[in-house]
Amino acid sequence: MEDFDVIIIGGGSAGLAALKHISALGKQAILIESGKEIGSKNVSGGILYSKNKEYGQVHNVEDIYGQKFLEEEPYERRITKYILNATSKDKVCSIDLTSIHDFQSNFGCSVLLNKLNTWFAKEAQEEAQKQGGGIVTGVHVKNIKWNNENTPIELDGGKQNSSTYDNSLIVETDELEEFRSRAIIAADGVNSEIASLLRAREKFSPDQLYQGVKVVIKLPEEIIEKRFEIGPDEGAAHLFSGDISLNQVGGGFLYTNRDSISIGGVYHLSSLLENPVEPDQLVNSLINNPLVKDLIQDEVPIKNIEKNLSKEEQTKKSFTISKLIRTWNELREIYYSPKNREKTIANGKFKSIEEIKDKINTTRRRLVEEFNTKFVTNYVELEYSAKVVPDGKRCMMNKPYYKNVLFVGDAAGRGIFLGPRIEGLNVGMDDAVRAAKTIIKYIKNNLTDPNIGEIYSQSIHESPYTRDMKKIDKDYLKVLLKAVKKIPLEDLGAKNNFLIRCMSNDFLRNFAVSTINKVGFYKFLSFVESPKIYIDIPILLAEKLGRKINTSTKFDIPELSERISKLKYYEDNNSHIIVTKPQIEFMKKMTVLCPTKCYSIEDQNVVIQHEGCIECGTCSKETSWKHPRGEKGIFFKYG
């Protein structure tokens, strides 16, 4: 059997950071990812932060990947404008929260995880190969066992007397022969099979999870800049709460990427279970918001093929139109992007910007005149995606390890939800560095130190992020309240007003916050994250203070089935999910809450059609849930 020192399971941003760091410190590590390619299984909102924490050091993306990260810009845009929008019908009340965004941050940038993780992987792979390690994709870890035990572990997390065991682990995968490892970093995400397999923690419950659903929308670069009133080096982030949430606890987001927009919502799973709403409807309600409509609309060609032609002619015509539309799109991508323009002119394809413009116009004219194509105001979706997000304050693992298996990132339930903001990417990467450092020490101790887990756990507890998951930061609250202060609160009614006034008072706030933190932050969650805060107040705000937005734009929002049919799957006949409790309420609700409608009720039993599964994890709690075999399942092109 082959032997390795360190195996990292999962190639999301956390796992990759671990690989990069261990390798940078000169040791061999191998990362195993089940997706066909790195980045194909990862979904985020998302904004990647680089933080400058007051209470200790964190390891930021640029610390891990160096200046190259800033030079090669695998991210989309630096966020320079951060706005909260309270909505009610056609009214929107916008509050500038850029100060909140900047709070203890070096920067925050919008990212698309396929691109970002692919870049991380390129860097990590290069470093790892120097040490004889690397990245292996398309391999799904299905079991881990310790060498001296034949059966999978059936013990409570970490409670075993650690000095007595043979610490080498045997890793079983669906694709490769078994191999041995002396330590494992489990970076296998929020739906960690490794955690369940080892019983290192319970599966996350709905109360601990948010369901994130997202659509990536195409929009040319400079059109984005014009719409959002930002410069080429700037980006905007909008958050939404109010009626767009269809009465759910949570909110919507809209982030500008380089030449696309990420738009979606993140909603508390408990809230969704209480009052189920289709996830795609939540995205639609945001897309249908008049403010959003104005921001994302574009000119969209509609193919029109005469029905009375023969199939052959139709096919040919259709292909020719597709090709023209593609050309038109590509030209626009060039025309509206300074970098692309420059490149295209430099390589002699076009002589001038005007020539590109001309070509766009002639292509468009051809489409209209020769092929009867109509151009309408609409928007273009590139990808629909979903994933559950762990709310760290409710679910982070207190001891994020089991023997010599260390959990990082989402797998350890580590994510920060602070009001409207999510931080998971930066937290996972920081965890990864801590795990990497622990592993390096461990290797120096000949891979035998039974305390490896404890050492890692301590390091995690020193992380300022852990603190953020436990306590309200009174300074953060102060900045938040300051931002909100400009709003004439008188209009909001006495009760709410009073609360905000009290909190704006330094003394009262500090007192309240320290009391809350003493008693336990999590005990107040039902108050803080209540429908009142997330829905009622924003609606009130919008109605009383919002500006009315008139838009006559009508969107042709794709049906869910159309969204699904555009997704890329590598199908597997075998289902990775098995329904074990076909009659319980939870499962019945999945027929509504599964973002791709994989569940239906037949003969009073809930059955799954796994082919459409996008592996979000919403149904994980009450099913036998595994990731698909290597290379199989959903393949996100944007993520």
Partner 1 sequence: MIENKKLSDLEDGNNSNSYHHMLVIIEVVDGVVLPVNYEMLGEARRLMDFFNKQYNSNEKVIAVVLGQNIKDLCNELINYGADVVVYADDPNLRYMVNQTSTKVISSIAMDKDIISKISPDFVNHYKKPRYMFFAADSIGRHLSATVLAELDSGLASDVNKLEISDLEIKHQHKTKGNALKYGKVLEMYRPDFSGFLWTTILCLDNKNPEIRRDFHPQACSIIPGAFAPLEPDPKRKGQLIEFTPKFDKKDLKIKVLNRSIDKDKIDFDSFKIVISFGKGIKEFPEDNIKLIETLSKLTGAEIGISLPLSKKIFKLDEKINSKYMIPGRVIGTSGRKITPKIYIAIGISGAIQHIEGMKEAEFVIAINTDENAPIINECDIFIKGKMEDVLPVLIEEIKRIISPLEVQAKRK
Partner 2 sequence: MSLNVAVIVKLEPDFSEGNISYNADGTLNRAETKSKLGAHSSVACLAAFYAKVNYGANISVATMGPPMSEIALSEAQSICDADSLHLYTDRIFASADTLATAEVLKKGIQKMKENENENNNGIDIIFSGHRASDGETGQTGPQTAWKLGYPFFGNVIDYHLNLKDRVVTLKRLVVLNGMDNIIEEIESPLPVFIALDPSYKPSFTTLSSRLKATIFEKNAEKKVANFKSYLKMFDHNSLELDPKEVGLSGSPTIVYKVERIPKGKMNRKAEIIDGRDRNQIKNIAEKILILNGQYGRS
Among 106, 322, 609, 624, binds partner 1 (CB under 8 A): 609
SS (H, E, C) 461-509: HHCHHHHHHHCCCHHHHHHHHHHHHCCCHHHHCHHHHHHHHHHHCHHHH
Q: Please state, in angstroms and as integers, the Cα–Cα distance from residue 249 to each residue in 101, 110, 279, 492, following that order.
A: 21, 24, 13, 20
Q: Does 603 participate in binding partner 1 (rule CB under 8 A)? A: yes
Q: What is the rounded CA–CA span in Å between residue 496 and residue 485? A: 13
Region from 66-74, 140-148, 153-161, 600-608 binding partner 1, contact rule CB under 8 A: 600-608
Q: Please state, in angstroms and as integers, the Cα–Cα distance from residue 593 to each residue in 192, 244, 252, 270, 555, following that order.
A: 20, 17, 17, 11, 24
- The C-alpha angle 191, 196, 198, rounded to 5 degrees, equals 140
Minimum CB distance to ligand SF4 smaller for 390 or for 617: 617
Tokens 């719409």 belong to: 227
Question: Which does residue 607 touch among partner 1, ligand SF4, partner 2, none (CB within 5 to 8 A, set by kind)?
Answer: partner 1
HSE (side-chain half, CA atoms, 13 Å) at 570: 16
Q: What is the rounded CA–CA span in Å between residue 192 and residue 422? A: 20
Q: Please state, in angstroms and as integers, the Cα–Cα distance from residue 265 to each residue in 198, 269, 287, 392, 569, following that order.
A: 32, 12, 11, 18, 23
Q: What is the rounded CA–CA span in Å between residue 41 and residue 33? A: 9
Q: What is the rounded CA–CA span in Å between residue 85 and residue 244? A: 10
CB of 244 vs ligand FAD, minimal distance in Å: 15
According to DSSP, the β-strands at 577-579 and 405-407 are: unpaired
What's the farthest any 2 CA atoms get from each other in the chain? 80
Binding-site ranges for ligand FAD (CB under 6 A): 9-15, 32-35, 41-48, 140-141, 187-189, 193, 212, 214, 264, 266, 387, 389, 409-411, 415, 422-426, 428, 564, 569, 611-612, 627
CB of 328 vs partner 2, minimal distance in Å: 12
- Side chain identity at residue 637, one-letter code: K
Within positions 31 to 90, which residues make up the interface with partner 1, using CB under 8 A?
none
Minimum CB distance to ligand SF4 smaller for 112 or for 272: 272
The 567-586 contact track toward partner 1, x by CB under 8 A, reads ----x-x-------------
Question: Which does residue 136 touch among ligand SF4, partner 2, partner 1, none (CB within 5 to 8 A, set by kind)?
Answer: partner 2
Within positions 541 to 580, which residues make up the interface with ligand SF4, using CB under 6 A?
577
Tokens 């996830």 belong to: 279
Within positions 613 to 632, which residues make up the interface with ligand SF4, using CB under 6 A?
613-619
Q: Does 505 participate in binding partner 1 (rule CB under 8 A)? A: no
CB of 596 vs partner 1, minimal distance in Å: 12
CB of 607 vs partner 1, minimal distance in Å: 5
Region from 68-76, 250-258, 364-372, 589-597 binding ligand SF4, contact rule CB under 6 A: 589-597
Q: What is the rounded CA–CA span in Å between residue 361 and residue 341? A: 16
Region from 68-76, 99-107, 217-225, 588-596 binding ligand SF4, contact rule CB under 6 A: 588-596
Binding-site ranges for partner 2 (CB under 8 A): 2, 4, 30, 32, 125-126, 129, 132-136, 139, 176-177, 179, 307-314, 316-320, 322-323, 325-326
Q: What is the rounded CA–CA span in Å between residue 92 and residue 98? A: 18
Question: Which does residue 614 touch among partner 2, ligand SF4, ligand FAD, none (CB within 5 to 8 A, set by kind)?
Answer: ligand SF4
Question: Which does residue 288 touch among partner 2, ligand FAD, ligand SF4, none (CB within 5 to 8 A, set by kind)?
Answer: none
CB of 407 vs partner 2, minimal distance in Å: 22
According to DSSP, the β-strands at 235-242 and 79-88 are: parallel
CB of 175 vs ligand SF4, minimal distance in Å: 22
Classify residue 256 as exposed, middle or buried by CB count within 10 Å of its CB (0-12, 13-18, 19+): buried
CB of 630 vs partner 1, minimal distance in Å: 18
**Is 386 within 8 Å of 614 (Cβ atoms)?**
yes
Q: What is the rounded CA–CA span in Å between residue 233 and residue 218? A: 19
Q: What is the rounded CA–CA span in Å between residue 439 and residue 420? A: 35
Region from 35-43, 83-91, 438-446, 596-604 binding partner 1, contact rule CB under 8 A: 596-604
User: Which SS3 state, helix, strand or coil, does residue 202 take?
Assistant: coil
Minimum CB distance to ligand SF4 smaller for 490 or for 602: 602
**Is 201 within 8 Å of 195 (Cβ atoms)?**
yes
Minimum CB distance to partner 1 smaller for 229 or for 312: 312
Q: Does 76 participate in binding ligand SF4 (rule CB under 6 A)? A: no
Question: Which does residue 320 touch among ligand FAD, partner 2, partner 1, none (CB within 5 to 8 A, set by kind)?
Answer: partner 2
Collect all residues with Cβ–Cβ distance below 8 Å to 518 and sequence separation of at least 6. none
Q: What is the rounded CA–CA span in Å between residue 346 and residue 601? A: 59
Question: Which does residue 109 touch among partner 2, ligand FAD, ligand SF4, none (CB within 5 to 8 A, set by kind)?
Answer: none
Q: What is the rounded CA–CA span in Å between residue 389 and residue 124? A: 25
Classify residue 308 as exposed, middle or buried by CB count within 10 Å of its CB (0-12, 13-18, 19+): exposed
CB of 385 vs ligand FAD, minimal distance in Å: 8
User: Which SS3 state, helix, strand or coil, does residue 242 take?
Assistant: strand
Q: Does 596 participate in binding ligand SF4 (rule CB under 6 A)? A: yes
CA-closest candidate to residue 260, choices 551, 639, 566: 639
Q: Does 598 participate in binding ligand SF4 (rule CB under 6 A)? A: yes
Minimum CB distance to ligand FAD smaller for 330 or for 611: 611
Minimum CB distance to partner 1 smaller for 221 or for 383: 383
Q: Does 205 participate in binding partner 1 (rule CB under 8 A)? A: no
Question: Which does residue 546 touch among ligand FAD, partner 2, ligand SF4, none (CB within 5 to 8 A, set by kind)?
Answer: none
Region from 220-228, 288-296, 607-615, 617-625 binding partner 1, contact rule CB under 8 A: 607-615
- Residue 260 has φ and ψ, to the nearest 5°, of -160, 175
Minimum CB distance to partner 1 smaller for 294 or for 313: 313
**Is 261 within 8 Å of 339 (Cβ atoms)?**
no
Collect all residues with Cβ–Cβ distance below 8 Å to 267 and sequence separation of at least 6. 210, 211, 245, 248, 249, 250, 251, 282
Question: Which does residue 425 touch among ligand SF4, partner 1, ligand FAD, none (CB within 5 to 8 A, set by kind)?
Answer: ligand FAD
Question: Which does residue 619 touch among ligand FAD, ligand SF4, partner 1, none (CB within 5 to 8 A, set by kind)?
Answer: ligand SF4
Query: Which residues of 190-233 form beta strands (DSSP E)?
Result: 209-218
The 306-345 contact track toward partner 1, x by CB under 8 A, reads ------x---------------------------------
Question: Which does residue 577 touch among ligand SF4, partner 1, ligand FAD, none (CB within 5 to 8 A, set by kind)?
Answer: ligand SF4
Q: What does the binding site for ligand SF4 look like in residue numbers (CB under 6 A)?
A: 577, 590, 594-596, 598, 613-619
Q: What does the binding site for partner 1 look like in residue numbers (CB under 8 A)?
A: 312, 561, 565, 571, 573, 600, 602-603, 607-609, 611
